[in-house]
Amino acid sequence: MSLVIRNLQRVIPIRRAPLRSKIEIVRRILGVQKFDLGIICVDNKNIQHINRIYRGRNVPTDVLSFPFHEHLKAGEFPLPEFPDDYNLGDIFLGVEYIFHQCKEDEDYNDVLTVTATHGLCHLLGFTHSTEAEWQQMFQKEKAVLDELGRRTGTRLQPLTRDLFGGS
């Protein structure tokens, strides 16, 4: 099914083709390539607005995920009953926030891929509210990014590697 990447901001240049290419591979690794997925790139003002409305946090952030299948447990796959149910949901990337959080030795496009992968894991029921949940999500992200690295020659680390004192 389709992967739609929309750039709704003008602050940070976005190279959609490399992001699309890597996220298509991530979808295949996760086994969800038959599901629609939306990735929307927004600036700090818009991600802050969305964050305030949906999470009650009036600050910009890197990623917000809105799952189509809201009650999935970590690692479960959606079980569509109808053709329209082949939808994972939407990931909003705060690309301006991500750009400013990048360290000097990090490639911005790689960080976008890692952040989108993190958001995709959220769409599949993974969370990191507790250390046990974080451990499960971290392992999934690491496995996916390691396989992506094998296929593309990149070395990427999970977004939440330091959340609970990870490596």
Residue 137 in domain: no
The mean pLDDT of 102-127, rounded to a whole number, is: 95
Residue 8 in domain: yes
Residue 1 in domain: yes
- Lowest mean pLDDT, pick from 22-26, 103-107, 157-161: 157-161
- How do residues 1-32 score in pLDDT, each as one tens digit? 799 999 999 999 999 999 999 999 999 999 99
| pLDDT value of residue 167 | 44
| pLDDT value of residue 163 | 66
Q: Which domain holds residue 79?
A: 1-125
> CA 140, CA 136: separation in Å to the nearest integer?
6
Task: Indicate whether 164 pLDDT > 70.
Answer: no
116 phi and psi, to 5 degrees?
A: -65, -40
Task: Indicate whether 42 pLDDT > 50.
Answer: yes
- Number of domains composing the chain: 1
The residue ranges of DSSP E strands in 21-137, in sequence order, are 36-42, 63-67, 87-94
Task: Indicate whether 68 pLDDT > 70.
Answer: yes
DSSP 83: G
Residue 106 in domain: yes
Residue 20 in domain: yes
> CA 47, CA 35: separation in Å to the nearest integer?
24
Residue 99 in domain: yes
Could you tell me the CA-to-CA distances from 14 to 83, 96, 100 in Å, in that order? 31, 10, 14
Task: Indicate whether 161 pLDDT > 80.
Answer: no
Residue 9 in domain: yes
Residue 167 in domain: no
104 phi and psi, to 5 degrees?
A: -55, -35
> CA 164, CA 167: separation in Å to the nearest integer?
9
Task: Indicate whether 165 pLDDT > 70.
Answer: no
- How do residues 119-144 score in pLDDT, each as one tens digit? 999 999 999 999 999 999 999 999 99
CATH number of the CATH domain containing 10:
3.40.390.30
